[in-house]
Amino acid sequence: MQDTKSMNIGILCSGVALGVYIPGLYIHRDLHLHAMSSEVFVLENLLYDDKINKIADSKKLFHTNFRAALVGQKLAKDMSHNIDSSKTTKQFNYWLNENVNYFIVLSGFWMPLLEEFNKIYPDYPIEIECLHIDSCLSPSWEKVNHLVGDTRSTWLMRADKNKILYNLEITKELPISFSYRANELLLHGGGWGIGTYQDKISSLLEHNYHLNIVAYYPQEADFNHTNIRYYGIDPDWSPWQKDISGEYTFPPFSEIENGKTPVYKNNTQIPELFNISRSVKGIVSKPGGSTLLDSLQSATPIILLEGFGKHEEENAALWQELGYGIRYDDWKNNNFDVNILENLHLNLLSEQGAYPKYIDMLLSKFTKINEENLS
């Protein structure tokens, strides 16, 4: 391994799941702030073109039918038959030419490709870090039973240990005090708008909560309710397409207002959705790993909906155990008591700064590599 002055870091993400895309952008952002050379790579750019085109159809189906999404997740455990070998060859050559030699892997679907890369170029030294965003193995990692060469695994949180190991910093701003937050909730279903959050709207309105809802399609906005604000991601945006500057971006975001054309804006430092997460009293959502990070950073509790698979159910159990979230039905049985949310907020607030920052650990590791190579 070369010293950190010439180390080029590849951050391997997937755009299908924003929960392993957005954290990759945080890491890329922070590495650049510390003068480290890194680049983001998104798996979907290696798929056959017809497979890429079908993703939009799957997203639409899964958004409208959560049961179909759960079935689809169980089936999508191997991506190798969707990978275009000609695109893979170009990717490998790019890594060689740009001396990309340290890989941070957020999706397990990349691991067979790294194994192939290592076999073709056995004399090219690489190091691989498998970074797990969820608290147990997510579907992309379940069939990864061989780790390439010098490979290590890092977990941000572990359900089996009831513990958070690292915090992936989103912003340096401190959480907003609960008393300064409006009586509002945020409802969303992750990047694909998946889950049962839409079923909860009527009950929450009946209990006088104002709702901020992420509409997957602008036409989902129902402007008959004065206590609802709708937001959305630019439907023309794709996480596997770079912007005009050649960078992958956080989702362009806009409020959706009656009679107005949405003006989607892109924040280069954080997702705009996070600014809503930190201003409300609770997030009503399935417990994806990235949503847990939002909750941890903003000290905003999660009202936990049904998880998208076993790994998200483990995430939910961890958040309950730590006192950072509550199951929706349990909160409902307590008459949607806002005091419960405040207590959960205080639990989260008391742990601010308690967890080591992932970026600090990473930079320390690179410094050690540099020192070893200089000795």
Q: What is the CATH number of the domain that holds 320?
A: 3.40.50.2000
- Name the E strands within 64-174: 100-105, 127-132, 150-155, 157-158, 163-164
pLDDT over 90 for what percent of the chain? 68
Residues 275 and 343 in one domain: yes
Residues 272 and 331 in one domain: yes
Residue 228 falls within a domain, yes or no?
Answer: yes
Domain residues for the domain of 47 are 8-168+356-374
What is the average pLDDT value for the chain, to the nearest integer?
88
Residue 134 falls within a domain, yes or no?
Answer: yes
Residues 162 and 270 in one domain: no
Nearest to 290 by CA among 16, 15, 18, 105: 18
Where residue 159 sits, what CATH number does that domain have? 3.40.50
User: In this model, does residue 69 exceed pLDDT 50?
Assistant: no
Residue 2 falls within a domain, yes or no?
Answer: no
Residue 251 falls within a domain, yes or no?
Answer: yes
Residues 71 and 101 in one domain: yes
pLDDT of residue 351: 94
Residues 206 and 313 in one domain: yes
Residues 40 and 162 in one domain: yes
Mean pLDDT of 23-32: 97
Residues 338 and 367 in one domain: no
Residues 193 and 294 in one domain: yes
Residue 128 falls within a domain, yes or no?
Answer: yes
Residue 1 falls within a domain, yes or no?
Answer: no
Residues 335 and 366 in one domain: no
The C-alpha atoms of residue 20 and residue 97 are separated, in whole angstroms, by 26
pTM score:
0.92
Number of domains in the chain: 2
The C-alpha atoms of residue 335 and residue 345 are separated, in whole angstroms, by 18
Residues 16 and 93 in one domain: yes
Query: Residue 225 — very low, low, confident or very high, per pLDDT cuts 50/70/90?
Result: confident
> 93: burial class by Cβ within 10 Å (0-12, 13-18, 19+)?
exposed
Task: Let me know: does 82 contact 54? Beta carbons within 8 Å.
Answer: no
Q: What is the CA radius of gyration of the chain?
A: 21
